[in-house]
Structure 1
Amino acid sequence: MSPTQKALFLNKKFGDLVVEDAPIYKPGPGEILIKIKATSLNPVDWKIQKYGIFIEEYPAILGGDIAGDVEELGEGVDEFRKGDRVFVHGQFVNDRSSFQQYTLALASATARIPPSVSYEQASTLPVVLTVSYVGLYNENPHGFGLTAPVSEETQGIYGGTPIVVLGGASSVGQIVIQLARLSGFSPIITTASLKHTDNLKSLGATAVFDRDLPASELVKEIKKLTNEPIKFVYDSISSNITQETGVELLAPGGQLATVLPVTAKVDKDKSAWLILGMPRLPHNIELVETLYHDKIAGFLEKGIIKPNKVEVLPNGLAGVPDGLARMEADKISGLKLVARPQENL
């Protein structure tokens, strides 16, 4: 194997994305080296470039969604073999991010890709899966504090409890809907462009309302579906408008989860949590490792969780900047953009 690989570097804060050589890393104890076959793009990637957030050391390699083959095993890793198909949530560190041909990961936080799932499909999952799962199942103030559906005994236990997912067609929204179905929530109410209605209902949504419906009208429509108080609203968009809608929908004692900082005024008898889906935050580690290492492959194999639709970008890593520009321009809806780093050769 060559000692170098191709990687897409953000050359400086607010700088340009350029393909350059990078070293191929050596896995340490408990780690694996992954040959990345597919990586998907996320809004945080263009926001890091534009706003200079999260990253302090440059040049930096971005990207958090990793799907590929196990290339090399570190000391003590015995649950994987070279050639195993895997996916994992990366980190904002150059040797653990995804816009490159090889990266490192902890074996304890890595999931197998079932035969029925492609590399491209698997690569749509990690970032959105982690933030969705943490938001639902981590303890306050990191999430709603619900019981995770990791066994038959803890699946389906929220029957008769409504949940609202704002932005159901977003990548996060789609995963939240599916996890809510696994946990038994009913009804599962979501907002989206109505062209996504059939797909969202296939994922578990009970009702899909137009995303432009005023909050007052949405409240009326929800009351037609359930007399139960709305105690859980997951806002996968988290604009100021959607946050205000979420707060208005909540009953006293209710909780709002957001994926961007909370900007709406929150009543004293309600709570709002900013969900940080970073896999190695201390309060996330156990929850995330159990999900990836032990559970998600089975959920995928059984069709309980379905990956997002995919558009594959041309030109490998060199195609990523154009994809990020399309995302920033809000030209992507109902699917994820995926790059194949090995095509950059």
Structure 2
Amino acid sequence: MRAALLRGIDQLVVEEVPDYQVAEGEVLVRVRSCAICGSDIRIMHYGNPRVHFPQIVGHEIAGEVVEVGEGVKKFKPGDRVAIGADVPCGECYWCQNGMGTNCAINYAIGYQFPGGFAEYILLNKLTVIQGAVHHIPDSLSFDEAALAEPLACAINGLEMSSLGVGDTLGIIGAGPIGCMMIEMGRYMGATNIIVIQRSLSRLETAKQFGADHYFLSGDEHLIDKVMEVTHGEGIDVVMVACASPDAQELALELVRHRGRVNFFGGLPKGSRKISIDSNLIHYKECMLLGSHGSLPRHHHKALQVMEKGMVKASQYITHRFPLSEIHKAFEVAESHQGLKVVVNP
């Protein structure tokens, strides 16, 4: 089969690799769609402790089951399935108590396990039992279903931040997940949604998703404007959905008393350490937290949400490329020319 094999830092090569052999409890899937995530770009440029070269990356996946191993009852050939990234080990304290994103092993598709930038993906027995592998609703295409993975991460982050009815939601970073948070946040009860973005072009793109206010992060009057549209109170929940130390520092200026700040976007290797006035946390009695990844239940919820049209997945897909043009696909994704870039192997 053909696959995009990451042989080392910035060494992504499309080549023939051995076909998978399906063993007991495993499921072989013909990959139809695999979207590019910002973390895929970081892995390509900087590596990751969980990724050992050579490896097939890519973890926002949808495809069709072509073969199942002995003992598999949940899936059969012909089933359309969406596949999430995180795979709980199922044995540690965190996994057994429903908090698999804190698992010390932290298995994931496209990290320890081969990913979806290939014609086929083999789901091992652990992934089939513990991972996010769910049937795709009839109304969703493969491309749309692949986006259940990033939407699941957004749901996890908003859920952890205790977003409630009547809250003001602030989103710093209007990339694909930031825009998903606009739609998801509205259904979770946010009545005032503020989007803050560095680039004007991406801010304009985000306007189609229906937030209440849009501001450029470089605006020297930004804090005053946010206070004006929140009646001097600040923001209940601030989601930092970008990889920026400046944005993380800004969030604590914008959050209201007893509000929540979520450092949702991880910082790339070599980023500067943030500097914060801890008195902002002390006197505001605000809560600072982080979230990453998702649980299988979030992935299932994401598919349900998209099936109902609450988050319109098709709006996020701006570019499609065959596997043979994966280098161009990565270039487009990294340039932020659009929103989601999908590779169709």
- TM-score bracket, normalised by the shorter chain, equals 0.7 to 0.9
* Counterpart in the other structure of 1:292: 299
CA contact (8 A) 2:333 2:339 kept: no
The offset of 1:21, in angstroms, is: 1.4
1:26 aligns with 2:22: yes
- Residues 115 and 297 (structure 1 numbering): CA distance in 2 closer, same or farther, change over 3 Å? same
Deviating more after overlay: 220-229 vs 65-74: 220-229
CA contact (8 A) 1:162 1:185 kept: yes
Q: Secondary structure at the match of 2:214?
A: strand
Q: How does 1:22-61 map to 2 (within 5 A)?
A: 22-26=18-22, 28-29=24-25, 31-61=26-56
* Counterpart in the other structure of 2:89: none
The superposition leaves residues 135-191 of structure 1 with CA deviations (integer Å, 9 ceiling, x where unpaired) of 2224xxxxx2x27xxxxxxxxxx22211100122x0110111122112101201112
The offset of 1:8, in angstroms, is: 1.1
Q: Secondary structure at the match of 2:39?
A: helix
Q: Secondary structure at the match of 1:254?
A: strand
* Counterpart in the other structure of 1:282: none
Q: Secondary structure at the match of 2:22?
A: coil
* Counterpart in the other structure of 2:140: 117
1:212 aligns with 2:213: no
Whole-angstrom CA distance in 1 between matches of 2:8 and 2:320: 27
1:265 aligns with 2:270: no
TM-score by length of 2: 0.77
1:133 aligns with 2:135: no
Whole-angstrom CA distance in 1 between matches of 2:213 and 2:76: 44
Amino acid in structure 2 at the alignment position of 1:309: I
- Residues 137 and 50 (structure 1 numbering): CA distance in 2 closer, same or farther, change over 3 Å? same
- Residues 236 and 28 (structure 1 numbering): CA distance in 2 closer, same or farther, change over 3 Å? farther
Residue-pair matches, total:
302
CA contact (8 A) 1:159 1:184 kept: yes
The offset of 1:35, in angstroms, is: 0.9
The superposition leaves residues 55-99 of structure 1 with CA deviations (integer Å, 9 ceiling, x where unpaired) of 442211111111111222345544433212221123134654111
Q: For structure 1, list consecutive stretches of 5 or more residues without a partner in the other structure.
A: 139-143, 148-157, 280-287
CA contact (8 A) 2:226 2:234 kept: no
CA contact (8 A) 1:121 1:310 kept: no
Out of 323, 329, 332, the position equivalent to 1:317 is 323
- Residues 289 and 7 (structure 1 numbering): CA distance in 2 closer, same or farther, change over 3 Å? same
Out of 166, 172, 178, the position equivalent to 2:177 is 172
Q: For structure 2, list consecutive stretches of 5 or more residues without a partner in the other structure.
A: 86-108
1:7 aligns with 2:17: no
- Residues 225 and 76 (structure 1 numbering): CA distance in 2 closer, same or farther, change over 3 Å? farther
Amino acid in structure 2 at the alignment position of 1:210: L
The superposition leaves residues 220-244 of structure 1 with CA deviations (integer Å, 9 ceiling, x where unpaired) of 2223322344231111113122222
1:243 aligns with 2:251: no
The offset of 1:194, in angstroms, is: 5.2
Out of 237, 257, 260, the position equivalent to 1:255 is 260
Amino acid in structure 1 at the alignment position of 2:303: A
Q: Secondary structure at the match of 2:194?
A: strand
Whole-angstrom CA distance in 2 between matches of 1:113 and 1:56: 28
Whole-angstrom CA distance in 1 between matches of 2:205 and 2:8: 40
Percent sequence identity over matched residues? 26
CA contact (8 A) 1:7 1:20 kept: yes
The offset of 1:37, in angstroms, is: 0.5
Whole-angstrom CA distance in 1 between matches of 2:209 and 2:24: 39
